[in-house]
């Protein structure tokens, strides 16, 4: 025993560590105690399953093996490397946080919790995980897994989504944390929460802590933790245009603040959000639920096939009378035409919709109606080269001369061939729409 305080540490923590010693997951970032690797793995694993993120982590480490490599990379490169993991602000903040470490701390991750938490994108959980795992400091790392495990072990019925409920458990985690193996303890809780004390139906029959678990004794394990959610999110209709001009597509860069900032999209008109579906409108909510869960867990479009092998290009949407689709169409066409006129372009839009797509964010859902059209220039002059491209100059320059010259575009717009789409950081669901580009 290393510390006299250890007499107060409950016995179940030793049982948990013994279980961890046998069952710990072999994860690539566990091969070293490098704080940078642990930091990257913790940021990536937030909102992404470990198995899904593993290839991204390995590729990331090949591309940015050190903090200096990441700090020196430009934002677009970093966001592209993150593509597929979602929540792109995490990638941007990781790069900024690493830059702070390189520039302010001489490339050494600070060991002080306050300094660690002051880094961009580093919250209490990440700071606790990095400090405990890399430096074996006695710092809790409390995430949803840990809240669930403690709520059950101690039969706590307070709402863990409320500050008071969360703080109660955080204090308990610190109180019960072993002194000699804090890093292992945090990792043991992560693995235990992911494989034994799992959400919804805990695997109590194989649990090494069953003899100590108060919720199991009380018969409340499946009801815990208590989470009272406010699930209402606004539904926003979007009109999207896949517009081509001489083999190029017109693309727009989103503003450098807000949702999916600085990422590329097809020209889009965002309409006012829809009223929430009525509480008893089961038709809408059930279909939305099916579709949304599908899309969240699976990149819907390319992979969905009907039994006959035909690609399914339409999504299930709420009842037509949930909102006025005609209004969306008319509003979208009128707005896009005036925006394109300001760019010196006119467009002929096909009447048939290309596809419909629903995409769910944590705080809103987009219902996207997608059309295609052909552009014409109404500018008096066109430039021989395009200064708005975002990829290799030579590609645009060699094809953008003479009769193929491209109309000049202002900042924030570009022309791009579909062969070059893979080079772009796409704004969420817009990346899925590239499969519908035929030119």
Structure tokens belonging to residue 271: 């309409």
**Least distance in Å: CB of 213 to ligand SF4?**
3
> Catalytic residue among 6, 42, 270, 289, which?
42
Smallest distance, ligand SF4 to C-beta of residue 49, A: 20
Provide the pairing of β-strand 264-265 with 345-349: unpaired
* 288 is a catalytic site residue: no
- Write out the two tokens for 376: 């014409």
Nearest 5°: phi and psi at 282?
A: -65, -30
Distance CA 19, CA 13 (A): 10
Strand partners, 189: none
Residue whose pair of structure tokens reads 């760019």 in the numeric block: 343
- Closest distance between ligand SF4 and the C-beta of residue 10, in Å? 13
- Residue 141 has, within 13 A of its CA and on its CB side, a CA count of 28
Whichever of 169 and 207 has its CB closer to ligand SF4, that residue is 207
Report how far residue 434's alpha carbon sits from residue 422's, in angstroms, rounded to the nearest whole number: 9
Between CA 12 and CA 216 the distance in angstroms is 14
d(CA 122, CA 116): 7
**Are 249 and 437 within 8 A, CB to CB?**
yes
Least separation, in Å, of the C-beta of 50 and ligand SF4? 19
Q: For 132-178, give the secondary structure using H, E and C.
A: HHHHCCCCCCCCHHHHHHHHHHCCCCCECCCHHHHHHHHHHHHHHCC
Answer whether 353's CB lies under 8 Å from 238's CB. Answer: no
Q: Which is nearer to ligand SF4, 155 or 288 (CB)?
A: 155
Phi, psi for residue 340 in degrees, rounded to 5: -70, -35
- What's the CA gap between 383 and 387, in Å, rounded? 9
* Minimum gap (Å) between residue 145 Cβ and ligand SF4: 11
Cβ-based nearer residue to ligand SF4, 67 or 207: 207
Applying CB under 6 A, which residues contact ligand SF4? 152-153, 196-197, 202-204, 207, 209-210, 213, 215-216, 221
Residues 162 and 170: their CA atoms lie apart, in Å, by 12
- Smaller CB distance to ligand SF4: residue 215 or 396? 215
When the beta carbons of 221 and 315 are compared against ligand SF4, the nearer one is 221
Pick the closer one to ligand SF4 by CB: 203 or 350. Answer: 203
Strand-strand pairing, 365-377 and 355-360 = antiparallel
Residue 16 beta carbon to ligand SF4: minimum distance, rounded to whole angstroms: 9
Contact (Cβ atoms closer than 8 angstroms) between residue 85 and residue 426? no
- Cβ-based nearer residue to ligand SF4, 207 or 416: 207
- Whose structure tokens read 């961009």? 120
Write down the least CB distance from residue 173 to ligand SF4, Å: 14
* Positions marked catalytic: 42
């Amino acid at each position: 025993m290393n510390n006299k305080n250890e007499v107060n540490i409950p016995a179940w923590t030793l049982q948990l560590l013994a279980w961890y010693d046998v069952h710990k997951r072999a994860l690539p970032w566990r091969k070293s105690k490098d704080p940078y690797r642990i930091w990257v793995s913790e940021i990536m694993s937030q909102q992404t399953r470990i198995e899904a993120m593993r290839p991204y982590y390995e590729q990331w480490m090949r591309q940015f093996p050190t903090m200096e490599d990441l700090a020196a990379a430009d934002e677009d490169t970093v966001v592209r490397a993150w593509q597929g993991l979602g929540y792109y602000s995490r990638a941007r903040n990781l790069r900024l946080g690493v830059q702070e470490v390189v520039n302010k701390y001489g490339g050494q991750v600070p060991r002080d919790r306050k300094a660690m938490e002051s880094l961009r994108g580093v919250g209490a959980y990440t700071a606790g995980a990095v400090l405990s795992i890399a430096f074996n400091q006695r710092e809790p790392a409390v995430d949803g897994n840990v809240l669930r495990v403690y709520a059950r072990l101690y039969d706590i019925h307070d709402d863990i989504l409320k500050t008071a409920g969360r703080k109660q458990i955080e204090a308990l985690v610190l109180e019960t944390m072993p002194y000699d193996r804090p890093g292992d303890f945090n990792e043991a809780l992560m693995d235990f929460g992911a494989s034994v004390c799992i959400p919804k139906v805990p695997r109590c029959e194989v649990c090494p802590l069953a003899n100590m678990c108060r919720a199991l004794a009380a018969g409340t394990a499946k009801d815990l933790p208590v989470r009272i959610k406010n699930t209402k999110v606004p539904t926003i209709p979007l009109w999207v245009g896949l517009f081509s001009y001489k083999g190029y597509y017109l693309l727009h860069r989103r503003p450098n603040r807000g949702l999916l900032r600085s990422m590329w999209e097809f020209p889009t008109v965002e309409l006012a959000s829809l009223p929430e579906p009525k509480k008893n409108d089961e038709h809408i909510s059930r279909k939305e639920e099916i579709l949304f869960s599908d899309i969240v867990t699976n990149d819907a479009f390319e992979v969905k096939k009907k039994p006959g092998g035909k690609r399914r290009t339409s999504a299930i949407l709420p009842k037509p009378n949930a909102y006025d689709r005609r209004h969306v169409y008319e509003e979208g066409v009128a707005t896009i035409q005036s925006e394109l006129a300001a760019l010196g372009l006119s467009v002929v839009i096909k009447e048939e919709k290309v596809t419909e797509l629903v995409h769910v964010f944590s705080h809103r859902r987009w219902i996207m109606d997608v059309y295609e059209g052909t552009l014409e220039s109404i500018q008096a002059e066109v430039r021989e080269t395009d200064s708005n491209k975002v990829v290799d100059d030579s590609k645009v320059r060699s094809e953008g001369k003479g009769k193929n010259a491209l109309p000049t575009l202002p900042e924030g717009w570009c022309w791009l061939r579909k062969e070059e789409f893979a080079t772009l950081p796409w704004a969420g669901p817009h990346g899925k729409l590239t499969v519908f580009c035929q030119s």
